[in-house]
Structure 1
Amino acid sequence: MKKLLFLLLAFGGTSASAQMNDYPIQPVAFTKVTLVDKFWNSRIEINRTVTIPASFDRCKTTGRIKNFEMAAEGKGKFCTVYAFDDTDIYKTIEGASYSLAVHPDKQLDAYLDSLIAIVGKAQEKDGYLYTYRTIDPLHPGGAAGPERWVKENEQSHELYCAGHMYEGAAAHFMATGKRNFLNIALKNADLLVATFGPGKRAVAPGHEIVEMGLVRLYRITGKKEYLDLAKFFIDQRGKKPYNKKSKNVWENGTYYQDDKPVINQEEAEGHAVRAMYLYSGMADVAALTGDKEYLAAIDKIWDNMVGKKMYVQGSIGAVGDGERFGDNYELPNTTAYNETCAAIGSVFWNQRMFLLHGDAKYIDVLEKVLYNGLISGVGLDGKSFFYTNAMQIQEHFNHPDIERERSGWFVCSCCPTNIARLIPSVPGYIYGQNGKDVFVNLFISGTGSMLVNKKSLQITQQNNYPWDGGLAFIINPASAMDMNFKIRIPGWAQNQAVPSDLYSYQQPLNKKVVIKLNGQPVDYQIEKGYAVISKKWKKGDKVEMLLPMDVQRVVASDKLPNDAGRIALQRGPLMYAAEWKDNGGLASNIIIPKDAVFTSQFDAGLLNGVTVLKADVKAINIDADKQSISTETKTLTAIPYYAWANRGKGEMMVWFPEQVKYVDIISQ
């Protein structure tokens, strides 16, 4: 029974230790959701059969596994590039464990055990586990420094490696019930508890995630020292004597989110992935301790990010120099960085913000990221990736930070392994619950099972989202039950491109979202973005909702000069792009006049099946004499942004001018 309680807790249930504080809303675990969804099932299956095996293979061929073998033997030379390369194995184990939880595979299970045995042998007697140092502790690489932890707040990533280990170990334990990886993680965590804390060593982790990992271990074990240490690490930020007057982000501490105490921070700053993991860790600790100062801080930071530092397709981290947030409204298109890991971190954080506040705006952002700037990071083949996610690719413009085509792996391969662990967990973002309040956040076909006031309930979704706006929900309680059924009405269906004034629709969409109960229209109240239907539900009750799927022209705030006079295209939750392949070899020469009329059509044979947008537009052409230009009318074809760069290398655009104001002449 104890093991069962742990499993329920770890996959999103109620705490076995009956904690007084926790998230007011609890997610329904992905293990409690069975999908029949065309859009997501194929991605989860490709992740299981292609992405995860490819990731393990590349961990082997690149030497990441060999690093652990050499650490166990205490001889050799660290054979990969980065001090944090251990984490690629931990993240892939995490993703494989999630897959095992819903798709038993004896061969994969056995392989994980063999890999965990290699990891365990590399662990030092006191619990320390970091191959970059352990292989040759007297001569570690320069990122590590002469002693343990002395460069932790810079580039050693010792605690970052520990955090990913904890996440992977928790996932493996929850999926299999085995303690082989969990015991390795707990031994390491106990070393951290003995090393860091009041009256001991103090440090602000240079790359956050150990905080989230410690919370995971606390939830499994109930050992409060892990939660206390997570909070201790967060509270160390802002204590290092950086040069606060410097504009250099490394010298003033903002790159590490370390320029001031977290409770005084008001802007999303620094390295975007580190920031997302910090804010997620703060949300976890705030939920479990009731820390209201943490809550106030992350509320302000979220407003800043969504209102001033997020791209139209949900991506964050605009600046390549440091993979970081720039200044407010610094969102260039030609050099947009947009690391895939930052998109994944944004999903983690926005889910936690929803669990804290029960507001649909956080899921609006989560959905925008998930369907656009996140899955763009993995190719349709499941084994080619983007580290960065561009906003435009032009034939005449090349920049070292902008990827024009996908790669099978990277020297710093954090993004592919992060994808491997995120994709199988998607069903866990669909539902939330608080007492008799049941939240439907994402529209993904399948059946979710949960307990509402100790009664079993199943909700079956039937839809063809994101291509179609017709949604159906079949409610099947074990017996009649009182329930507040809360369906998110997406902001994009309520004249809101994003939950801020950073982007908006050029023309308001004045269509009321119709909801029917058992075939009859119902009047509903909207609370924090959710349509609320309260009644005594019986088996077979059916709720239907029709979302408008009009093509919308999105315009940017006048504080974003790079987007002035331009529009982006949105249909439902999807942002669209024009790619060279469909538009005569170019995409940067397209003008979309104000009177252009769009049509949408599903093409089952294109890019694994997508709805494409078409309209008659203008295109600028260079005449044959190379001394004059002309325009022609042509048919624009736009594809979902996430699907670009799956057919070779060429131009891509997200923002389109509505008219010509001037022409730059470039000669080569």
Structure 2
Amino acid sequence: MKKLFKVNNILLVAGGLLTLLSACNTSAPCHEKIREVPFTNIHFNDIFWAPRIEINRTVSIPSAFNQCEINGRFDNFAIAGGLTEGEHRGDFSFDDTDPYKVIEGASYSLAARYDPGLDQYLDSVIQIIASAQEADGYLTTCVTNKVERLSGWWGSSRWEKINSHELYNSGHMYESAVAHYLATGKRTFLDVAIKNADLISEVFGPGEGQKHVPSGHSIVEMALAKLYKVTGEKKYLDLARYFIDETGRGTDGHKLNAYSQDHMPILQQEEIVGHAVRAGYLYSGVADVASLTNDQEYFKALCRIWDNMAGKKLYITGGIGSRSQGEGFGPGYELHNHNAYCETCASIANVYWNYRMFLATGDAKYVDVLERALYNGVISGVSLVGDSFFYDNPLESMGQHSRQAWFGCACCPGNITRFMASVPGYMYAVQGKDIYVNLYVQGTAQVETSAGEIILEQVTKHPWEGNIKLIVNPAVKTEFTLKLRIPGWAQDAPVP
């Protein structure tokens, strides 16, 4: 006989022995690791997210690939690889990341719903990207193509400038390559990433003759952590740790600056400052490394910085970064509406960071902020049609602010495509026999716990209505704990 439970407005139908708990309310790292439930095990069929994810698959991803083609992003790789001749296009040293992000999103989409045409297309563009890799593993097209008009970014030789974005390019490549490998089992892109990571492991580090600098624009830290998880190569985790340790130290004598959170060592930081996207990516990487190495001191620093962000610099939309100048943070409580910046990429970075903080602690407050950013600061960045995007997201406009199909600095469209395809992965998490229910979305999930496989089904019209029916079907009769997040906004506490 199935058991019925009523918890506030949540109806639970259980096929086995069930214990109900709210999410733990502690910021101390959990002893047993909380694991993500693969997004491919979770299938939405609701009226809010499922249509958006399908539009991302059928409109946003093809549109972004088309923009990469017509704006020369793939041509730049082909020129670097000697496949064609022509002039390098684009105004930024990090334009390589645009196709990387879209490939990542397409890979997530492919894993959730196989499309042979998309699979073949990815093979073709990855082949072009691979052609641009130099013999030792180096891959940044504007440097290989010796684009002098972009020398203000990269200088006159490899690794000359911290702000060259060479490591940022690598980071997005690793994330994309890992996603493609997990989705398809193919190593074509992963091998390119590994060859590049092996190179930067030789170039950067604490040893004699290596470059002693942080990453500049962070993302390579959490990307290296992903590469470590997939390959088991500890040197990638060590390199991620090195970039984090080197931040704010100025070992090579470069000028320290808050823009890249490089003004002081992370362990001494109290306030979130600088470029908002860089901050979110950096602290996501710190959370990854702290979790993988059980480093309590870095986690304490993250908690201090997070408290400053959530208490003084977080918009009601979950957006972060109040200033267009520097795309970053102002002083505490500088949260204007009309002049708000709230870059789409920054909201995505905020989700990444908060999810990692949750995985480390099981504390529901991090999912509260994640959810607020997810439903507001992130999805405002893409139209309902799916083919136009906001770069910044002010809370007030006189009508002059409109979405665009693409940008000269096109970081946000690609970021949206990769993020939207992965949204189901934020819904549940597992810790031994415990299942965390983080988000309330109609759909089904196959969750592997130490007590066996549990099939969960949510029936709800959330967010339009508040009633939620949760059907729990264990494969065999067993005992486990279901931890239901009670949202802060349901307790008159919209922000922590």
| Aligned partner of 2:40 among 31, 43, 49 | 31
| Aligned partner of 1:320 among 307, 318, 324 | 324
Q: How far did residue 78 of structure 1 move? A: 2.1
Matched, 1:97 2:101: no
- Structure 1 contact 163–210 (Cα < 8 Å) conserved: yes
Question: How has the CA–CA distance of structure 1 residues 284 and 362 changed in structure 2, closer, same or farther, with 3 Å as cutoff?
Answer: same
Matched, 1:177 2:174: no
Looking at structure 2, the residues matched to 194 and 394 of structure 1 have their Cα atoms a distance apart, in angstroms, of: 52
Higher helix share: 2
Matched, 1:149 2:149: no
> Could you state the TM-score of these two structures normalised by the residue count of structure 1?
0.68
Q: Secondary structure at the match of 1:299?
A: helix
Matched to 1:35, the amino acid is F
Q: How far did residue 101 of structure 1 move? A: 0.1
Alignment partner, residue 364 of structure 1: 368
Matched to 2:436, the amino acid is F
- Structure 2 contact 451–480 (Cα < 8 Å) conserved: no
Looking at structure 2, the residues matched to 261 and 170 of structure 1 have their Cα atoms a distance apart, in angstroms, of: 29
Q: Secondary structure at the match of 1:161?
A: helix
Find the structure with the greater CA-based Rg.
Answer: 1
Alignment partner, residue 436 of structure 2: 439
- Structure 2 contact 256–264 (Cα < 8 Å) conserved: no
Q: Secondary structure at the match of 1:432?
A: strand
Matched, 1:476 2:473: yes
Looking at structure 1, the residues matched to 348 and 412 of structure 2 have their Cα atoms a distance apart, in angstroms, of: 9
- Structure 1 contact 242–259 (Cα < 8 Å) conserved: no
Equivalent residues in 2 for 1:60-459 (5 A)? 60-73=69-82, 76-136=86-146, 141-151=151-161, 153-154=162-163, 156-199=164-207, 200-240=210-250, 253-394=257-398, 404-459=401-456
Question: How has the CA–CA distance of structure 1 residues 143 and 314 changed in structure 2, closer, same or farther, with 3 Å as cutoff?
Answer: same
Matched to 1:92, the amino acid is V
- Structure 2 contact 88–147 (Cα < 8 Å) conserved: no
Alignment partner, residue 58 of structure 1: 67
Q: How far did residue 240 of structure 1 move? A: 2.3
Q: How far did residue 137 of structure 1 move? A: 7.4
CA displacement, residues 214-271 of structure 1 (integer Å, 9 cap, x when unaligned): 111100110000000000011111122899xxxxxx9751111000001111111100
Q: Aligned-pair RMSD on alpha carbons? A: 1.8
Alignment partner, residue 575 of structure 1: none
Query: What is the aligned length?
Result: 464
Question: How has the CA–CA distance of structure 1 residues 274 and 451 changed in structure 2, closer, same or farther, with 3 Å as cutoff?
Answer: same
Question: How has the CA–CA distance of structure 1 residues 22 and 158 changed in structure 2, closer, same or farther, with 3 Å as cutoff?
Answer: farther
- Structure 1 contact 242–251 (Cα < 8 Å) conserved: no
Q: Secondary structure at the match of 2:327?
A: coil
What percent of counterpart residues are identical? 53
Q: How far did residue 201 of structure 1 move? A: 1.3
Looking at structure 1, the residues matched to 63 and 255 of structure 2 have their Cα atoms a distance apart, in angstroms, of: 39
Q: Which runs of 5+ in 2 are unaligned?
A: 1-29
Q: Secondary structure at the match of 2:440?
A: coil
Higher strand share: 1
CA displacement, residues 32-67 of structure 1 (integer Å, 9 cap, x when unaligned): 112111111100000000000000000000111111
Matched to 1:439, the amino acid is Y
Q: Which runs of 5+ in 1 are unaligned?
A: 1-20, 244-249, 396-402, 500-668
- Structure 1 contact 68–131 (Cα < 8 Å) conserved: yes
Looking at structure 2, the residues matched to 337 and 139 of structure 1 have their Cα atoms a distance apart, in angstroms, of: 28
- Structure 2 contact 104–176 (Cα < 8 Å) conserved: yes
- Structure 1 contact 457–476 (Cα < 8 Å) conserved: yes
> Could you state the TM-score of these two structures normalised by the residue count of structure 2?
0.91
Matched, 1:45 2:54: yes
- Structure 1 contact 22–287 (Cα < 8 Å) conserved: no
Q: How far did residue 141 of structure 1 move? A: 2.8
Looking at structure 2, the residues matched to 375 and 422 of structure 1 have their Cα atoms a distance apart, in angstroms, of: 10
Alignment partner, residue 492 of structure 2: 495
CA displacement, residues 180-234 of structure 1 (integer Å, 9 cap, x when unaligned): 0000000000001111112121111110001111111100110000000000011
